[in-house]
Amino acid sequence: MIERLLIANRGEIAVRVARTAKRMGIHVIAVYSDTDAAAMHVAVADEAVRIGPDAAAESYLNIDAVIAAARETRADAIHPGYGFLSENADFADACVAAEIRLVGPSADAMRAMGDKAASKEVMSKADVPLVPGYHGADQDPAMLAKQAAEIGFPVLIKASAGGGGRGMRIVESADAFDEALAAAQREARGAFGNDRVLIEKYLTTPRHIEVQVFGDDHGNVVHLFERDCSLQRRYQKVVEEAPAPGMRDERRAEIGAAAVAAARAIDYSGAGTVEFIVDATTDGANGPFYFMEMNTRLQVEHPVTEFITGLDLVEWQLLVANGEALPLEQGDISLKGHAIEARLYAEDPDRDFLPAPGHVVAFEVPEMGASVRIDTGVATGDDIAVSYDPMIAKVIAHGADRDGAIAALDGLLAALVCAGPVTNQAFLRRAITHPDFVCGAVDTGFIDRHRDALIPLRDGVPDGALAAVVARLLAQRARQAGDQASARGEANSPWAASDSWRANLQNAETLLFRDGESEVSVCVVHDADRVSLTLSGGQSVDLETGCDGWSAFVLGNIYFAVAAGSQIRLERIVAVDEASDRAGASGGLNAPMPGKVVRVMVAADEQVSRGQTLMVLEAMKMEHAITAPGDGKVAAVFFAEGDQVAEGAELLQLEPVED
């Protein structure tokens, strides 16, 4: 029986695993990097061990450090969570060598499914349907281009060794193939240390449907129904639900049986997910389905399966790792209702979902009930670190039917407060309440197709947001005045009051804020018994009643107004600060986020054209191209390949081309 469990992960999944393990009476051991010394997953554990500095390669991906931590704490089992070492066959071997149980499948199963090309050979022998494509070992670019032409454009280039959208490119024509291949191979090499790719026919109306499977060491394999993960950006999942909307019972049985066959083909033990691509062109979720890959671990979206089955999948993992048989047979597993999960990320939808690491000024979770759940490893005061994935929380809701689940999830997203980093919270609400999503018309092109509706342009700052920010500013000012008065021994004087009483000052003042590139002015009028605001548009708002559901938080000179999942960031403009900020301003191309320069594609004095890629940054496991906004000449390049850059750093300087 597992008695001491080391969780080789961080964030919400480490917290999630710890919750079940402690309920089962298991002693929980956390590991952490320097960044995570005070993290939630450390706090909830029974003990914790430092395993290295911030870089994942030196901490959470360091096999020797993890095994050493397990030995030091006398752990008899390791749960890898997902990501990091969860699908690393060498790590599985290291656990065996150290005589420590891994809560997961064997190294052989990981290797069989870890390489996309090899896994498709296994699935072909098991009669699991495959997308037409090339999965061979010959990686000569000319040969790959020839294979793509024979398959027929559009095609999809995919990294053979990885997932998560990295090393993946859609190619619409033969002319674009060579450049896309080079980019995919470069990204795959950086992310997985392996630049082998495979090429498949790209389906124009695909749905991403996966099946949760479970096996044990006694030859039992079951499926726990399917999940629809079609709502994606940059090939990465954003919203997942179970069961798949519109799928008929007959197709559910067929795709479940195919998933079980896939697991049996590799003698699978533990939790796994068999991912399929469905051609939804004519029959939605019931169209032809094809094997994509098998993830040999627990998935991020496992909570929706837990809601519809009433089962704890982490508990099942621990039981199987103990050598026990699966608790239920296939006929005993029933589907109840509908569940949807939304991934709350620190990312900016307005900037093509670029990661947006930053300080969490406030994270306030509403009261939970039996039908809603928030899995997170984040609390007020934490930082979303650039070194790791930008997911803040998983927001999950269950309903008797899909409409009920959507309504519950929307309400939960509206009530959740996350101030500080730019997030996708408002985007998620718009996505799950969009008419096409509500009626189940979802495929992997949903976000691009409805981008204008899902990411609308904001027309100024809402009156309520301004009122909330000003109210917070005045309250902060009054509190500071009171503290100063108390320090002078004047606690009973008007200086210690927290109302809007003002002495020796005019009854009106103008406050200035910066909203992106715009300035917003607010005239604050202090009357005897009320405070009112006159906004730049001329309208008057009563401070006491004008917040209209908005609340505000402050960090230094930055104010964050939040309401129903939306966030407005305003910077207080102070004359001295303003003059300082404008000193030394330049018009170069700046880094949109902190990251590492992986390619510099131009040199000084080189002429460039509009849209040309000049430099490539890598941040949070993704590559981001810096492109020329117009025709011109490179005046200077300020960074070299391998350099780390801060957000806002000037990367290159362009100048017009002389006629």
Smallest CA-to-CA distance from 387 within 59, 652, 22 is with: 59
282, 293 contact by CB (below 8 A):
no
| Contact criterion met (CB below 8 Å) for 654 and 628 | yes
Which residues are CB-contacts of 283 (< 8 A; sequence separation ≥ 6)? Answer: none
How many angstroms separate the CA atoms of 168 and 198, rounded? 10
Question: SS3 for 418?
Answer: strand
Q: What is the rounded distance in angstroms from the CA atom of residue 547 to the CA atom of residue 102? A: 53
Of 28, 67, 71, 65, the residue nearest 50 (C-alpha): 65
CA distance 611 to 127: 45
- Residue identified by tokens 């004519």 is 282
Dig out the tokens for 226 from the structure.
């399917």
User: How would you classify residue 402: left for phi > 0, otherwise alpha for psi between -120 and 50, otherwise beta?
Assistant: alpha
Residues 6+ apart with CB under 8 A from 518: none
SS3 655: strand
* 101 classed as catalytic: no
| CA dist., res. 339 & res. 403, Å (int) | 10
Distance CA 204, CA 584 (A): 48
Q: Helix, strand or coil for residue 245?
A: coil
State the sign of the Cα–Cα–Cα–Cα dihedral 181, 161, 252, 369. negative
Q: Which of 4, 233, 251, 297 is catalytic?
A: 297
| Rounded Cα–Cα distance for residues 378 and 11 (Å) | 7
| Kind plus residue range of the DSSP H or E element containing 437 | helix 435-438
Output the six-digit token pair for 181. 């291949």
Buried/exposed code over 577-611 (b: 16+ C-beta within 10 A; e: otherwise): eeeeeeeeeeeebebbbbbbbbbbebeeeeebeee
Residue 267 falls in which region: left (phi positive, over 0), alpha (psi -120 to 50) or beta: left
Residue that is written with structure tokens 């406030």 in the block? 362
Spatial separation of the C-alpha atoms in residues 470 and 533, rounded to whole Å: 9
CB atoms near residue 55 (< 10 Å): 14
Token digits of residue 54: 């911030």
Which helix (H) or strand (E) covers residue 200, if one does?
Answer: strand 197-201
For residues 232 and 242, give the distance between their C-alpha atoms in angstroms, rounded to a whole number: 16
Tell me if 321 sits within 8 A of 103, measured CB to CB. Answer: yes
Q: Tell me how far apart the alpha carbons of residues 343 and 560 are, in angstroms, rounded to a whole number.
A: 21
Question: Token match 């006929």: residue?
Answer: 331
- DSSP state for residue 204 in the 8-state scheme: S
Enumerate the H helices of 388-494 as residue ranges: 402-415, 425-432, 435-438, 446-449, 451-454, 463-487
Q: What SS3 class is residue 45?
A: coil
Residue 281 has phi, psi (to 5 degrees) of: -60, -45
Find residue 520's DSSP bridge partners: 513
224 vs 226: CA distance, rounded Å: 7
**Residue 441 corresponds to which tokens in the numbers above?**
């018309």
For residue 359, what are the β-bridge partners?
A: 383
Q: What is the DSSP letter of 579?
A: H
Kindly list the catalytic residues. 297
